[in-house]
């Protein structure tokens, strides 16, 4: 796995990033780290008291139009790092009390990341991604990732095409999540913290309740209660530039409808309060 004829993500651009060619993500053959921090706002079962040791990578393979991290995801920005420096960053975060190492939007830099994970870390490694992943790429992460934290954004292909330029999102992401669960198994707890397993995030979008219900249906149909966890997110915040209904927050009625469906499907996990829909939770990039 390298940066030549790049096929790391489902877009499979085929560019040679070592020669300066840019694919959809815009990344070169040098990993860019946009932010390193103890992240206290991840799910409580991840962040704990010390926080997640978050490493945010610049650029993204999805480019969602409503992304709250647009400052770093919309284009590849950050400090260039090699594998040795990336490993040092992980160890520095652990020394500061990080409960885990949280790799945020990492896929397009995996050739740099994988060597940094060769020697097992003393805390879990979290793979925090948009869910739009190639199974073939994920297989390279077997035994290196303890907790997968994918989004499952869309069941509606037209919605995925409109907002993320990925009409095939649902079949690709569901295949990826099945591979993630195959690798790490059912959720395992140590006290009040998750130490291994898959936590599926779903961001409710305004005016798109049907999309959310279909996402939850798929999870309920494919996993036993407690086998995976669901993080039902209501933090959608209008970032500007989108027409109705994406120019407003999720209503109480919309959230309650989706939350009820989550419970009807027997799904376990995490929920968010209404005041999560604010830019104050977005890290300062």
Confirm if 27 and 33 have CB atoms less than 8 A apart.
no
Q: Is the pLDDT of residue 283 over 70?
A: no
Examine residue 99 and state whether it is found in any structural domain, yes or no. yes
User: If you average pLDDT over every residue of the chain, what do you get?
Assistant: 94
Name the 3-class secondary structure at 104. strand
Do the domain assignments include residue 169? Answer: yes
Q: Please list the residues that pair with 36 across neighbouring strands.
A: 55
Q: Is the pLDDT of residue 232 over 80?
A: yes
Q: How many domains does the chain have?
A: 1
* pLDDT of the residue at 276: 60
Residue 179 forms part of a structural domain: yes
Mean pLDDT to the nearest integer, 262-280? 79
Q: Does residue 9 lie within any of the structural domains?
A: no
Angstrom distance (rounded) from CA 41 to CA 246? 24
Per-residue pLDDT of 164-213, as tens digits, reads 999 999 999 999 999 999 999 999 999 999 999 999 999 999 999 999 99
Of 147, 154, 110, the residue nearest 130 (C-alpha):
154
The answer to whether position 1 is within a domain reads no
Confidence at residue 284, expressed as pLDDT on a 0 to 100 scale = 60
Is 16 part of any domain? no
Q: Average of pLDDT values for 24-51?
A: 94
Q: How far is CA 110 from the centre of its chain?
A: 14
Strands 31-39 and 52-57 come out as antiparallel
Q: Kindly report which listed range (68-72, 84-88, 196-200) carries the lowest average pLDDT score.
A: 68-72
259: Cβ–Cβ under 8 A, 6 or more apart, which residues? 232, 271
Q: Is residue 72 part of a domain?
A: yes
**In Å, how far from its chain's centre is CA 151?**
5
pTM score: 0.94
| Per-residue pLDDT, 124 | 97
Is 2 a domain residue? no
Q: Which structural domain range is residue 70 located in?
A: 30-281
Question: Where residue 44 sits, what CATH number does that domain have?
Answer: 3.20.20.70
DSSP E strand stretches across the chain? 31-39, 52-57, 79-81, 100-104, 125-129, 147-150, 188-190, 193-203, 229-233, 269-270
- Inter-residue contact 34 to 58 (CB < 8 Å): yes
């Amino acid at each position: 796995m390298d940066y030549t004829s790049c096929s790391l993500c489902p877009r499979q651009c085929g560019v040679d990033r070592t020669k300066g060619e840019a694919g959809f993500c815009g990344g070169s053959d040098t990993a860019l780290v946009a932010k390193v921090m103890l992240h206290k706002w991840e799910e409580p079962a991840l962040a704990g008291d010390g926080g997640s040791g978050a490493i945010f990578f610049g650029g993204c393979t999805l480019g969602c139009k409503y992304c709250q991290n647009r400052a770093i995801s919309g284009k590849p920005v950050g400090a260039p790092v090699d594998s040795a420096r990336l490993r040092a960053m992980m160890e520095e975060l652990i020394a500061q009390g990080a409960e885990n190492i949280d790799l945020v939007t990492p896929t397009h830099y995996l050739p740099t990341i994988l060597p940094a994970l060769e020697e097992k870390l003393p805390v879990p490694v979290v793979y925090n991604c948009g869910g739009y992943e190639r199974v073939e790429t994920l297989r390279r992460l077997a035994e290196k990732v303890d907790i997968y934290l994918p989004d499952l954004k869309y069941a509606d292909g037209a919605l995925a095409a409109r907002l993320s330029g990925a009409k095939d999102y649902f079949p690709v992401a569901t295949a990826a999540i099945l591979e993630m669960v195959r690798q790490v198994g059912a959720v395992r707890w140590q006290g009040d913290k998750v130490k291994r397993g898959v936590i599926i995030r779903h961001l409710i979008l305004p005016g798109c309740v049907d999309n959310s219900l279909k996402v939850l249906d798929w999870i309920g149909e494919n996993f036993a209660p407690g086998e995976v966890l669901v993080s039902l997110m209501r933090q959608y915040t209008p970032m500007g530039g989108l027409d109705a209904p994406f120019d407003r927050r999720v209503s109480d009625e919309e959230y309650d409808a989706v939350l009820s469906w989550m419970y009807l499907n027997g799904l376990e996990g995490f929920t968010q309060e209404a005041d999560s829909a604010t830019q104050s939770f977005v890290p300062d990039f």
